[in-house]
Amino acid sequence: MIVALRPTWLFVVGCLALTAGSARAAENTLSESEKRSGWKLLFDGESTKGWRNYKKDKLSAGWLVEDGALTRGRAGAGDIVTADEYDSFELQIEYKISKGGNSGIMFHVTEEADAPWQTGPEVQVQDNIDGHDPQKSGWLYQLYQPGPVPFTDKIPDATRPPGEWNHVQLRVTPAICEINVNGIRYALFQKGSPEWNERVAKSKFAQYPQFGKPTKGVLCLQDHGNPVSFRNIKLRELGPDGAAPEPIDGTLAVAVKPAFPGLTWEDWVPIDDNGKAQEFRPIVLTYAPDGSKRVFVATQQGLIYVINGEGPAARSKVFLDIRDQVTYKDQENEEGFLGLAFPPEYKKSGEFCVYYTSKKLEPHTSIVSKFRVSADDANRADRKSEIELLRIPQPFWNHNGGTIVYGPDGFLYVGLGDGGSANDPLNNAQNLSTWLGSILRIDPAHKEGTRNYAIPKDNPFVNKPGAKPEIYAYGLRNVWRMAFDRETGTLWCADVGQNLWEEIDLIVKGGNYGWSLREGAHTFGAKGTSLRADLIEPIWEYDHQVGSSITGGVVYRGKQVPELVGRYLYADYVTGKLWALKYDEVARKVISNEAIPSAKLPVISFGEDEQGEVYFTIVTPDGKGIFRFAQGAK
């Protein structure tokens, strides 16, 4: 995730029976996040209210409500339209097409023409296996079709076969329009742009002078003579800039302040050896549980600092410098030094673990290793003490994950992404024979056989043939970040989404979190699935009109900001929004999601100190990128 990158003891760690309440809503209803962010239902699953036939005042008898779906069930049903007109909007809709069937979803339809498709562009709906039209489902008819997926250059067909439900997301604003099918990006375009006009001129629609010209109109579902059903029809009106309401219940009286004003960083200068500007990238902030109250900050280039003192009196010193072992490039900025963790028994053992991308091995190789503190200096690590624990080949430079944390059980948890590219092309996240797309759990304090670590005996897949025994949970896209609640032992995880949804999960032993069968609480891709009992849904999600790259944080257990106690703090990297989520673990439901006022900074990481106070970090050219929370004006 680091994108421009665009994460029990009693408990949750124990068993699947204690899985979290879902962010998913029942069919034809709105989820709590959707309610908060401006969505409304255009179909309630029970009646045809809000729909009529094209150029008519009412709906024909050919459209029926069957099994919670709006269904074209009889001949002569005719094209149907919404009661209201929309200009800038976002639509979610699911369709189920019959074998060989064809239909369409049109927008900005006006009713002066003989047929709706003579004014309104159409997202094609058809059976891509036996359908008669060369225009495939999800394409904008005769205008736009999917391009190749990054890294793989494959043209996607994300549709599921006839008789199964498919999800279409359509966003229409003056600045940009977007089509996604089952979570896969199909098209980005600007209606009315020179490129648009050129494509229209080459299509069959060129003969209709009003085609694509209206900037406001009804939505239309096409009757093409074949059985087709629609459900979960949800719409959100947007501003001209595409902005959507935040899914919040209010704003907390909390302030954001620089954490270490005046602090300078030993051995760091804003210019590199080649004379180029060098940003300070504080990718990890954590503490050593030894009573010293020291804060440790690691940069993505491979420097670990120890900070002694507080406020203006704080001073930094290099604790460990492994820049010569770490590869980091701005063009591949999901690699580098990504993880640092101190065990509960650090005061006794002096050992700690790191996660980084190796400069000395094959490209895109991740390393988890452990070091020891120097025998004669508590503020300096012994760089010669490194012992490699895990060597993880990555197929691409993105989706490395990289969070490592010690649990209350004393074991190390390692969060890994699915290996990268887009859409999980290697299906790593659902494959227990690879570490990728999983959270691992190992014991670095002991050796076992040829390994420099032991595998906890109660890991869930220890006895499963073909499975990696280190895996604790799986089905994750790109964990960024994860953290244990120091009071309850619950493992919180933020998983960065693909095109539509960012999610928050509570991790349990053996849990499958659905990727890449699902993105958030939604079907994903041609092989995707509806909700299943063996897949764990997120407790919270937000869509990409709210933000598009989650940065996970921690549950606040400090004392300086009582308003935050018990709330999970998290952010969106792209929009810079900060939130505090209150979740009832007993009732398994979200109580509230509240905004934290800020300057909309691009948060790359969260951390906490020994007292439970929470910090967040950003990339800066001057090294002043660490912030803390404080009480704000009431």
Cα separation, 157 vs 148, in Å, equals 11
Domains of the chain as residue ranges with CATH: 16-23+248-631 (2.120.10.30), 39-237 (2.60.120.560)
Output the DSSP codes for 49-100.
TTEEETTSSS--TTEEEETTEEEE-STT---EEESS-BSSEEEEEEEEEPTT
User: What's phi and psi for 118, nearest 5 deg?
Assistant: -85, -10
Least confident piece of the model among 16-30, 48-62, 199-213: 16-30
Q: Answer yes or no: is pLDDT of 10 > 90.
A: no
Give me the pLDDT at residue 269, please: 86
Q: What is the mean pLDDT of the chain?
A: 94
Look up residue 377 and give its two tokens.
Answer: 């200096």
pLDDT top residue among 195 and 153: 195
User: Tens digits of per-residue pLDDT, 140-185?
Assistant: 999 999 998 877 788 889 999 999 999 999 999 999 999 999 999 9
Q: Assess contact for 81 and 219: CB atoms under 8 A.
A: yes
Instruction: Indicate whether 248 pLDDT > 70.
Output: yes
pLDDT for position 277:
83
| The pLDDT value given to residue 5 | 38
Residues 553-588: pLDDT tens digits?
999 999 999 999 999 999 999 999 999 999 999 999
pLDDT at residue 15, rounded to an integer? 40
- DSSP-derived 3-state class of residue 33: helix
Within 13 Å and on the Cβ side, how many CA atoms surround 220?
Answer: 30
pLDDT at 283: 98
Locate 222 and state its tokens: 């096409």
Q: For 16-20, 156-160, 204-208, 547-551, which range has the lowest pLDDT when averaged over its residues?
A: 16-20
404-416 pLDDT, tens digit per residue, is: 999 999 999 999 9
- pLDDT at residue number 21: 62
Question: Please, which residues have CB within 8 angstroms of residue 615's CB and are 6 or more apart in sequence?
Answer: 259, 285, 295, 606, 607, 608, 609, 626, 627, 628
d(CA 172, CA 212): 12
In this model, does residue 617 exceed pLDDT 90?
yes
One-letter identity of residue 289:
P
29-80 pLDDT, tens digit per residue, is 999 999 999 999 999 999 999 999 999 999 999 999 999 999 999 999 999 9
From 16-30, 215-229, 292-306, 352-366, the region with the lowest mean pLDDT: 16-30
**pLDDT at residue 502 is higher than 50:** yes
Give the number of other CB atoms < 10 A from CB of residue 152.
Answer: 14
Q: For 298, list phi and psi in degrees, rounded to 5.
A: -110, 140
User: Among 5-14, 224-233, 513-522, whose mean pLDDT is lowest?
Assistant: 5-14
How many CB atoms are closer than 10 A to CB 229? 22
Q: CB neighbours of 451 closer than 8 A, spacing ≥ 6?
A: 389
pLDDT band at residue 190 under the 50/70/90 scheme = very high
Residue 536 has which token pair? 């764990």
pLDDT at 14 over 70: no
**615 pLDDT more than 80:** yes
Rounded Cα gap, residues 79 and 133, in angstroms: 19
Give the neighbor-by-neighbor strand order of the sheet with 479-484: 479-484, 491-495, 501-507, 540-543
Nearest-CA neighbor of 307 among 298, 295, 318, 299? 295
> 102 pLDDT exceeds 50?
yes
Q: What percentage of the chain reaches a pLDDT higher than 70?
A: 97
Confidence of residue 366 (pLDDT cuts 50, 70, 90): very high
Q: Alpha-carbon torsion 163, 165, 166, 168, what sign?
A: positive
Give the DSSP H/E element, type plus range, for residue 196.
Answer: helix 194-201
Contacts of 275 (CB under 8 A, 6+ apart): none
* CB-based contact 491:12 (threshold 8 Å): yes
CA 149, 151, 155 angle in degrees (round to 5)? 25
Residue 527 has pLDDT above 90, yes or no: yes
Kindly report whether the peptide bond that precedes residue 516 is cis, defined as omega within 30 degrees of 0.
yes
User: What is the distance between the alpha carbons of residues 463 and 554, in angstroms, rounded to a whole number?
Assistant: 32
Q: Which helix (H) or strand (E) holds 32?
A: helix 32-36
- pLDDT of 288-297, one tens digit each? 999 999 999 9
Q: Which residue has the higher pLDDT, 347 or 275?
A: 347
First to last CA, the chain: 35
203: Cβ contacts below 8 Å, ≥ 6 apart: 142, 143
Q: Indicate the SS3 state at residue 587.
A: coil
pLDDT above 80 (res 7): no
Report pLDDT digits (tens) over 381-403.
999 999 999 999 999 999 999 99
Q: What is the pLDDT of residue 149?
A: 81
Q: Is the pLDDT of residue 267 over 90?
A: no
What backbone torsions phi and psi does residue 487 show, to the nearest 5 degrees? -95, -45
pLDDT > 90: what percent of the chain? Answer: 89
For residues 435-445, b (16+ Cβ closer than 10 Å) or e, as one string? bbbbbbbbbbe
Residue with tokens 């760089």: 383
